[in-house]
Amino acid sequence: MDIESKILRNLDPIKKASTNTRYSKNVPGKWLVDDSCIDCDYCKNIAFNNFKRDTEDGQYYVCKQPTESEISKCLEAKKKCPVNAIHGSK
Ligand code: SF4
């Protein structure tokens, strides 16, 4: 899905909630990025150990589940993600 379509979908909270799905490249675990990511780079800049960009799709994913010491950075990335595409908890 192109960025423009993702932005339009993200503007409609009902559509977003009903259509977003886990991006396939996330490593197994409770932290994940869904497919509404708009490729803004925030998460990587905050928690660079845990988020990586898929250059083919222009989409971020969780490349490594956070350790105890990395969780606070992932929580910060989740809070700052402009489209609430990051999911996970302590
Ligand atoms: S902060 Fe959110 S929208 Fe931005 S790259 Fe990360 S997951 Fe994607």
**Domain residue limits, the chain:** 3-87
What fold characterizes domain 3-87?
Alpha-Beta Plaits (3.30.70)
Distance 77 CA to ligand 1 centre (A): 8
**Residue 12: Cβ within 10 Å count:** 11
Helix (H, G, I), strand (E, B) or coil at 18: helix
Report residue 6's pLDDT band, with 50, 70 and 90 as the boundaries. confident
pLDDT (0 to 100) of residue 17: 67
Kindly provide the b/e burial profile for residues 37-60, where b requires at least 16 CB atoms within 10 angstroms of the residue's own CB: bbeeebbbebbeebbbbbeeeebb
Looking only at Cα atoms, what is the longest distance across the chain?
Answer: 36
CA distances from 21 to 9, 26, 46, 74 (A): 13, 11, 23, 19
- Regarding the beta carbon of 46 and ligand 1, being less than 6 Å apart is answered no
Say if residue 2's pLDDT is above 90.
Answer: no
**Nearest 5°: phi and psi at 16?**
-60, -50
pTM: 0.89
Distance 13 CA to ligand 1 centre (A): 17
Average pLDDT over all residues of the chain? 91
CA distance 37 to 83: 7
Report residue 81's pLDDT band, with 50, 70 and 90 as the boundaries. very high
Q: Which residue has the higher pLDDT, 8 or 89?
A: 89
Say if residue 75's pLDDT is above 80.
Answer: yes
